[in-house]
Chain A
Amino acid sequence: MDSALLLDDVHHAFGGHRPDARPALSGMSLAVAPGEVVAMIGLNGAGKTTALRVLTGRLRPTSGTARVLGHDPARLPAGAALRFGHVVGAALVDPALTVTENLRVAAELHGVAHAGAGAAASAVAERLDLVPWAHARARALSLGNAQRLGVACAVVHSPAAFVLDEPTSALDPRGVVLVRELVRERAAAGAAVLVSSHHLDEVARVADRVLAVHGGRVVGSLTPDEAELERRFFDLVLAADTAALPAGSRRSA
């Protein structure tokens, strides 16, 4: 089956070709099939957000290939954009607009017809329990409600593929469950979902596959139901670091 979301051998360094350039991606490759939830976990600075920025077209990599629904994300045609959503960093939310206005605006910008934007906004507001704040300005929302609004704006048009960066970092336990259920529902309906997180136990609950990211690339794959996920993750990180050391400086096990 073709991948809905794809990164193939992507390299990127901030600072271009300058001597002090900082490599952020060093051969990042991943693929997400329709109906699949893939989670990326990694330490701070591992390259997760940079990878997601490439995948959403916000950053043109030094080399490598990125594809969203078969297209270059930096030049996504309208037909593909209609089926794609993302939250990486700041969401498609205007702090001066109300929750309902933001959802309607997001729906229209994602290609939902003006006549259908209200219904799409109401449906996702109900699904993510945003109705009590429907008329509140986004800037007045708590951090958790604002994060749920951001996720809602990214999926208001029921995309076939979407990308969420740390989607539950500010949520209370109930909010975490709401977003998790939403992700699983959309995947069951055939959507390809890529999420990044620091929280191993959370990704274990939501993902079909977990990719350990370290040093700007995927260093291994984990299955969410395996025992001692945390230890396995650190084993992969340690192995990657050890492999990266010059041969003479490695300690024997």
Chain B
Amino acid sequence: MTVLRTALRVEAIAWRRSTVQRLATPLLIALVPVASIGLTTLARSGAVGGAGAAKLADYAAGDPATTHLVAAGQILSVAVLMAGGFAVAATFGQPLADGRAGAYFGLTTPRGTLAFARGLVVLGWAAACVAGAVAVTVGASAAVAATTDAPFGPAAWAAAGRALAAGLLAAGLALPFAAVATATRSPLATVGALIGVVGLTQVVVLVGAGAWFPYAVPSLWTGTGGPDAAADVGGAAVAITAAVAPVGAALVVVQWRRLTDV
């Protein structure tokens, strides 16, 4: 446990100082509520017509607070996957690309433990960003509701809970990209794989298999594909999606233990 505690402390310092973290944290925590409330306001303003209005139709009805939080969940389910993917591309891929990973050999803190701690730190950071983004959205939405005499009731709280859960699931889906970063030894290739999986997810959803595809589940669960698609996402699919994170973490730990030619 002492070795893991050391690894966690070291990785937390490194992540706190990293440029990726400094950019992504405010973007996630501030832009998600701004976009959620902004899209809802825009949908109800009547200022958007044509195809844009059709895309925003889901945000034009219902109580505003619930809509804000549904939108927040939908945005988070993609944004956190992308942010987490960039984070593991940087933290796992960059040291292998620039040779710094060679310095992790011959340490009392084993490489597998360092990799595990690195994954946990990124996952913890992503989870904190999700919680922060949902909390700020709840606060901003409650303020909007208070000034417009709109309700902020149980439906809004339920939407907040689902946004939080979907965001956490999406954060876990980023961990397998640490294994991609390790295998390719390239942050850019990892980002390419991330974009590829997001594209593949679109195809899987289009052919109707999204309810069982982990990378589609958070988004569909929050209603991106409509209420029917959300209803198709069952507990088993959510459990499978949640299992991606530990599988990804285990894989990257094994990879870092076996690392050679660095």
> Residues of A with Cβ closer than 8 Å to B?
53, 56-60, 68, 73-74, 76, 78, 81-82, 84-94, 96-97, 101, 105, 108-111, 114, 153
Contact-size category for B? 20 to 34
For the complex, give the distance between the alpha carbons of A170 and B9 in Å. Answer: 31
Which listed residue, A58, A84, A108, touches B10 by the CB 8 Å rule?
A108
Which listed residue, A60, A89, A92, A97, touches B17 by the CB 8 Å rule?
A97
Known: A74-B260, A108-B9, A109-B6. A58 touches B105 (CB 8 A): yes
For the complex, give the distance between the alpha carbons of A212 and B55 in Å. Answer: 72
Given contacts A85-B106, A97-B14, 20 further A-B contacts (CB under 8 A): A53-B262, A56-B106, A58-B260, A59-B261, A76-B106, A78-B108, A81-B107, A86-B105, A88-B102, A89-B99, A90-B98, A91-B103, A93-B103, A96-B17, A105-B10, A108-B6, A109-B10, A109-B108, A109-B114, A114-B9
* CB-based contact B102/A58 at 8 Å: yes
Does any Cβ of A come within 8 Å of B13's Cβ? Answer: yes
Does any Cβ of A come within 8 Å of B19's Cβ? Answer: yes
* CB-based contact B100/A90 at 8 Å: yes
For the complex, give the distance between the alpha carbons of A92 and B105 in Å. Answer: 10
Chain B CB count within 10 A is highest, among A56, A82, A96, for: A96
Chain A: CB-nearest residue to B260: A60
Which listed residue, A60, A91, A97, touches B13 by the CB 8 Å rule?
A97
Is chain B's binding surface mostly helix, strand, loop or mixed? helix
For the complex, give the distance between the alpha carbons of A85 and B3 in Å. Answer: 18
For the complex, give the distance between the alpha carbons of A97 and B103 in Å. Answer: 16
For the complex, give the distance between the alpha carbons of A153 and B104 in Å. Answer: 12
Known: A74-B260, A81-B107. A105 touches B102 (CB 8 A): no
For the complex, give the distance between the alpha carbons of A211 and B7 in Å. Answer: 38
For the complex, give the distance between the alpha carbons of A91 and B101 in Å. Answer: 9
Does any Cβ of A come within 8 Å of B109's Cβ? Answer: yes
How near does chain B come to A18, taking the closest CB pair, in angstroms? 15
Known: A81-B106, A90-B100. A58 touches B14 (CB 8 A): no
Does any Cβ of A come within 8 Å of B184's Cβ? Answer: no
For the complex, give the distance between the alpha carbons of A81 and B6 in Å. Answer: 15
Does any Cβ of A come within 8 Å of B202's Cβ? Answer: no
CB-CB < 8 A to A74: which residues of B? 105, 260
Known: A109-B6, A114-B6. A94 touches B262 (CB 8 A): no
CB-CB < 8 A to A94: which residues of B? 14, 17, 100
User: In B76-111, which residues have CB < 8 Å from any A CB?
Assistant: 98-100, 102-109
For the complex, give the distance between the alpha carbons of A60 and B98 in Å. Answer: 20
Known: A96-B18, A97-B13. A109 touches B102 (CB 8 A): no
CB-CB < 8 A to A153: which residues of B? 103
For the complex, give the distance between the alpha carbons of A74 and B259 in Å. Answer: 9
